[in-house]
Structure 1
Amino acid sequence: MKNSDNVKILMVDDRPENLIALKAVLESENYELFSVKSGEEALKYVLKHDFAVILLDVQMPGLNGFETAEIIKKREQSRHVPIIFITAISKANEHVSKGYSKGAIDYLFKPFNPHILKSKVKALVDIYKKQKEIENDRNELEKKTTQLNNDYKNLEHIIADKTNELVMTNKELQASQEHFRKIFQSSPNLMAIRSKEDQRYLNVNKSWTQFTGYDLREVEGKTGDFLHILPNCENMEKVNSPLDLDEGNYNVTITYKTKHNEVREGFLSTESTIINGEACVISVITDVTENIKLEKEISRLDRLNLVGEMAAGIAHEIRNPMTTVLGFLQLSKSEQHKTSPTNDYINLMIEELNRANGIITEYLSLAKDKISHKKVQDLNTVVRALTPLLQAEALMENKNVKLNLSDCPHVYIDEKEIRQLILNIGMNGLEAMEETGVLTIKTYTENEEIVLEIEDEGAGIKEEIISDIGTPFFTTKENGTGLGLAICYSVAQRHSANIDIESNKDGTTFLIRFPKSSVLEVIS
C-alpha cells in the first residue's frame, strides 16, 4: 500500500529481469519503487516526481546511462538527485571515471551484492530525508518571516518581531547544524573540513578515520598533509597546496595514503564554505579501491572463461577436418589400398587442411594485441576499392551493390583490417538476400562520429539471437566457422569504433561508428 510520505526510488534498466531483481532487494514499506526500461522513459518520470536516488543501468538502447545521467544533472530541479550506476558491460578504470564524471556518486557492478546495494540506498535515502527536513524548516521559516512582515506595521512591533525572528533563526541554524553534523558523520564517503587560512583540520567523519587509520585526536587542529593526495590522471595540473584544499574539484581521480602507507584510490570533490565565520573547504573522497580490485578480478575470470570457450570451439572446429584427413590416410595405409592415394583423396585432404588453416588464421585475427598499421585516410576510397569485388560476387547471383557515399572527415584506420570488416559484413549481406536484392553501403557524419553503414534486403536477424552476434564460433550458417563477425568486432575495438545492428523483416543494417576525436588526437 502506497504512503504519500514514502521515499521515491527510480530504477532504470532495459532488462525486465534486472528490474525484478532490484525490486526484490529494495522492496520496503518505506519506499515507493518506480521501474522503467529506457533512458527516455526515465527522463519523463524525473520531470513528474522527486526521487531520493536513481539506480541507472549504463548499457541501454537509445539513450544510454551516461547520456541519461548527463541530462538529469543539467536540469536544475534534478541535478542534486544522487545516481548509482549499475552495469556488467565495461569495467575499465576510464569507464568508471566516465561514470563519475557524468554525475554518479557510486558505481556497482553486476552481479551486485544485495546487502551492499541495500545499505548504500538506505544511506542516500537518509541523507535525502535530512535534506528535506532542512528544506522544510527553511520554507517554514520563510513563511513565518513573511507572515511577521505582513502582520506588524508599527516600528515597535517590527523591532520586537525581528528580535523573535532572530531567536527563531538561531534555533533553525542550530537545528540545521545538527542535521549537517548527522549527515557528515553518517556519510559512507571520507569527509574532512579544513581551514583555508592555515590548512588545519577542523573535523573528519567516521568513514575518514576508518579508511585512513588515523584517529580524530591525531589530526584535529593539525596542519600536516596526512593523506598525501595525488592526482591519478596525466592531464591534471599540479598544485602547490594539498589537493583537498583546492576548491572546485569534482570527482577528480586521486590516490591517497593511509596511516600504514597503504595506497588507495578514489574520487575527490571539494567545496568552499563558511563555518562559524571561518573560510573552510569541505573535501569528500569516494574510495573505489575495492571496486577496482573486484573489477580486475572479474576481468581476469572473464578472460579465463573466454579462453576456455574459445579453446573448446577451436578444438571442435579443427577436429572435423583432421578426422577426415586421418581417415583417408588410414584408408590408404590399409592392405586393400597398398597403392598411392588417388588425386580425389589428396584433393579432399588438402581441402580439409586448408579449412583447418583458415579457422586458425581467422582465430588469430581476433587477437586484441594484434599490430595495426593505421594512418589517416579517406574511408570512401577504401569502400570504392573494395566495391568491384563485392559487385562481382553479387552479379553471379543476380544481385546488386549500391554506394551512397558522403563527404566525410578522414579516419585513422588500418586499411587492410577495414577492408576485411567491410568484406565480411558485405558477403554476409549478399548471402542473406534473394535474387534482385540490393546491398547498400553508405558513409556519413552524425554528431561527433563518422558512420559506415552496410544495409541488406534479407529476411532480417531474429531478435533472440542479435545479442549473440559477434560471439566467437556462433553461426547460423551450415558451413560457417562463427569467426567472421567476431573478427569484425575485434577490428572495431582496435579502432575505438562501435558496431550497432538494426534488423527487421525487410533487412539488416550494420552501423560502424568511428569517433572523430581519434583523428584529432593523431593530427595534434
Structure 2
Amino acid sequence: MILIVDDTPENLTSLKKVLERHNFEVDTASSGEEALKKVLKTAYVLIILDVQMPGMDGFEVAEAIAGYSKARETAIIFLSAANTELSFITKGYSSGGLDYITKPVDINILLLKVKTFYRIYEQSRKLIEVQKTLLEEIEFRKRAERKKDEFISIASHELKTPLTSVKGYVQLLERSVDKGDIPTVKKHLKKAQLQLDKLNNLIADLLDISKIESGKLKFNKKYFNLNTLLDGIVEVIHQSNPEFTITKTGHVPVDIFADEMRIEQVIVNFLTNAIKYAPGTTEVHIKVTVENERVTVAVRDFGIGIQPEQQKNVFDKFYRVEETSIHFQGLGIGLYISAEIIERHGGTVGVNSTLGEGSEFYFNIPLISTTETA
C-alpha cells in the first residue's frame, strides 16, 4: 500500500486517482501528524511525502518514521516545489528519503519510480522469504544431526546392555556346569535366551529402519485370519508376562489381505509397549472392530499415559517421551516402524491417551490392502 502525505486536498485527490488507475492501493494523510498515526497502524510499501506542510514538515516526518522499527525500511519519496537547491535535496536524503521529485510532478516519472520501488520491495520480500526458508532448513539439519547423535548413543547403550547380560550369564553357566548344577544351568540359559531375544529384536528394528530409509522394506501380502493371529500373539505375550490379563473383544468375520508377519509386528509392538509403560497394572484390552470394509485393532493399557502435546509426536522417528525415556529402555523407533507398515497397507495409526490413566494405540487398515508392496 502507498501512503500519500500532502496538505493540499487537490494534490492528494489527483495523485490518488492516478495511482489507483494503475492498480496501486492508496491511502492518504493531510498532515505529518496524521501520517505518523497511520504509519503506526499500517505497513506501507512506499510513502510519497510533501516537504512543505504546516506543523511538521516532510523532513521531520521522515526522521520520525525512521525511528519506528516497523516502518524503518519503508521507502520515502519527497515532493517539493519550494526549493531545488542541492543542499535542500541533500537534506531530504539525510532525513531518510530514497528519492526526490520536484513539483509540478511529471506523472510518468512518478509512476516509473513507484513501479521501481514496488519491484525492489517484491524482490526484497522474496529474498527475506528465501533467507527464512534457508535458516529453517539449516535448523532442521542441526536438529536431525542432534537426533542422529542421540540415537547412536541410545542404540549403543541398548545393544551393549543385553550383550553384557549374556556375557554374565555365560560366565555363571560355566561355573554351574562345572558343579553339575543342572537346574541352575537351565535357569541361566533361560535368562540368557531372553537377553538374546531382546538383542535380536533391537537388531531387527535397526534393519527395518534401514530398509525404510532406502525404500527396500518388502511386503508379502496374502489372505489370513486376523482372529487366529491375535489369539496366537496373546498366548505368547501372556506366557512371558503371566501377571497380565489380556482381554480381547470383537471379531473379524472374513480373512484379510495383508502382510501377516508385518501386522503381527505392529500388534506385538503395541502390546509390549502397553505392558512396558504400565508398571503396577495387570490388565491390557484388545478391541477389534470392522466397519466400511476396514478393520481397526486397538490396544488399551492403564499405565502412565502421555501428555496431550506429546501424543502427536509418538510415531515420529527416534521420538521418546522425555519423562519415560529416563525410566524405560528403547530405541524410539518401534512406533515409527509400525506407522510405516500400516501406512504401506493404506491405513492409519493413532493414539488416545490420558495422563495417569493409560493409553490406547490403534491402527486401521482395509480388509483387502491393494497398495504398493515394494
TM-score normalised according to structure 1 size:
0.38
Quick one: distance in 1 between partners of 2:130 and 2:253? 48
Corresponding residue SS for 1:353: helix
Corresponding residue SS for 1:369: helix
Residue identity in the other structure for 1:511:
Y
Superposed displacement of residue 311, structure 1: 0.2
Residue identity in the other structure for 2:191:
E
Matched, 1:369 2:210: yes
Match of 2:168 in 1: 323
Q: 1:492 aligns with which of 339, 355, 358?
A: 339
Corresponding residue SS for 2:250: strand
Quick one: distance in 2 between partners of 1:401 and 1:499? 19
CA contact (8 A) 1:458 1:507 kept: yes
Match of 2:288 in 1: 441
1:414-453 Cα distance to aligned partner (Å, 9 max, x none): 321221211231354478596786421345579xxx7744
Quick one: distance in 2 between partners of 1:312 and 1:476? 16
Superposed displacement of residue 357, structure 1: 1.2
Match of 1:50 in 2: none
Quick one: distance in 2 between partners of 1:29 and 1:293? 31
CA contact (8 A) 1:453 1:511 kept: yes
Match of 2:361 in 1: 510
Matched, 1:177 2:20: no
Match of 1:306 in 2: 151
Q: Kindly tell me: are residues 474 and 513 of structure 1, through their superposed partners in 2, closer, same or farther at Cα, counting changes over 3 Å?
A: farther
Quick one: distance in 2 between partners of 1:442 and 1:421? 17
Quick one: distance in 2 between partners of 1:351 and 1:474? 32
Q: 2:181 aligns with which of 333, 342, 349?
A: 342
Alignment of 1:230-249 (within 5 A): none
Quick one: distance in 1 between partners of 2:295 and 2:328? 28
Q: Kindly tell me: are residues 508 and 288 of structure 1, through their superposed partners in 2, closer, same or farther at Cα, counting changes over 3 Å?
A: closer
Corresponding residue SS for 1:5: helix
CA contact (8 A) 1:443 1:453 kept: no
Aligned residues, how many?
265
Superposed displacement of residue 184, structure 1: 4.6
Superposed displacement of residue 475, structure 1: 10
Quick one: distance in 1 between partners of 2:69 and 2:292? 49
Residue identity in the other structure for 2:334:
I
Residue identity in the other structure for 2:210:
D
Corresponding residue SS for 1:354: helix
Quick one: distance in 1 between partners of 2:173 and 2:323? 28
Q: Kindly tell me: are residues 462 and 474 of structure 1, through their superposed partners in 2, closer, same or farther at Cα, counting changes over 3 Å?
A: closer
Match of 1:359 in 2: 198
Q: 1:5 aligns with which of 40, 58, 63?
A: 40
Quick one: distance in 2 between partners of 1:343 and 1:391? 31
Quick one: distance in 1 between partners of 2:169 and 2:176? 12
CA contact (8 A) 1:398 1:436 kept: yes
Quick one: distance in 2 between partners of 1:436 and 1:491? 22
Residue identity in the other structure for 2:203:
L
Corresponding residue SS for 1:510: strand
Q: Kindly tell me: are residues 510 and 313 of structure 1, through their superposed partners in 2, closer, same or farther at Cα, counting changes over 3 Å?
A: same
Superposed displacement of residue 391, structure 1: 5.5
CA contact (8 A) 1:321 1:356 kept: yes
Q: Kindly tell me: are residues 398 and 287 of structure 1, through their superposed partners in 2, closer, same or farther at Cα, counting changes over 3 Å?
A: closer
Q: Kindly tell me: are residues 343 and 292 of structure 1, through their superposed partners in 2, closer, same or farther at Cα, counting changes over 3 Å?
A: same
Over the matched positions of the two proteins, sequence identity in percent amounts to 12
Corresponding residue SS for 2:360: strand
Q: Kindly tell me: are residues 292 and 512 of structure 1, through their superposed partners in 2, closer, same or farther at Cα, counting changes over 3 Å?
A: same
Quick one: distance in 2 between partners of 1:374 and 1:472? 27
CA contact (8 A) 1:332 1:341 kept: yes
Corresponding residue SS for 1:509: strand
Corresponding residue SS for 2:353: strand
Superposed displacement of residue 386, structure 1: 1.6
Quick one: distance in 2 between partners of 1:348 and 1:292? 53
Match of 2:16 in 1: none
> RMSD across aligned C-alpha pairs, in angstroms?
5.4
More helix by share: 2
Superposed displacement of residue 361, structure 1: 0.7
CA contact (8 A) 1:401 1:440 kept: yes
Match of 1:389 in 2: 232
Quick one: distance in 2 between partners of 1:474 and 1:285? 34
CA contact (8 A) 1:501 1:508 kept: yes
Match of 2:302 in 1: 458
1:442-484 Cα distance to aligned partner (Å, 9 max, x none): 45579xxx7744142524514298667875799979x97536x
1:374-416 Cα distance to aligned partner (Å, 9 max, x none): 14556xx5532322225556797665211266999x87x5321
Residue identity in the other structure for 2:114:
S
Superposed displacement of residue 342, structure 1: 0.8
Structure 2 stretches lacking a partner, 5+ long: 1-36, 44-66, 77-104
Quick one: distance in 2 between partners of 1:285 and 1:462? 37
Alignment of 1:276-295 (within 5 A): none
1:346-382 Cα distance to aligned partner (Å, 9 max, x none): 113312321221122111121223464314556xx55
Quick one: distance in 2 between partners of 1:418 and 1:180? 58
Matched, 1:186 2:37: no
Match of 1:482 in 2: 330
Quick one: distance in 1 between partners of 2:360 and 2:167? 37
TM-score normalised according to structure 2 size:
0.50
Greater Cα radius of gyration, structure 1 or 2:
2
Match of 1:422 in 2: 267
Match of 1:501 in 2: 351
Residue identity in the other structure for 1:502:
N
Quick one: distance in 1 between partners of 2:136 and 2:126? 14
More RCO (CA 8 Å, sep 6+): 2
Superposed displacement of residue 503, structure 1: 0.7
Residue identity in the other structure for 1:348:
K
Q: Kindly tell me: are residues 442 and 427 of structure 1, through their superposed partners in 2, closer, same or farther at Cα, counting changes over 3 Å?
A: farther
CA contact (8 A) 1:325 1:352 kept: no
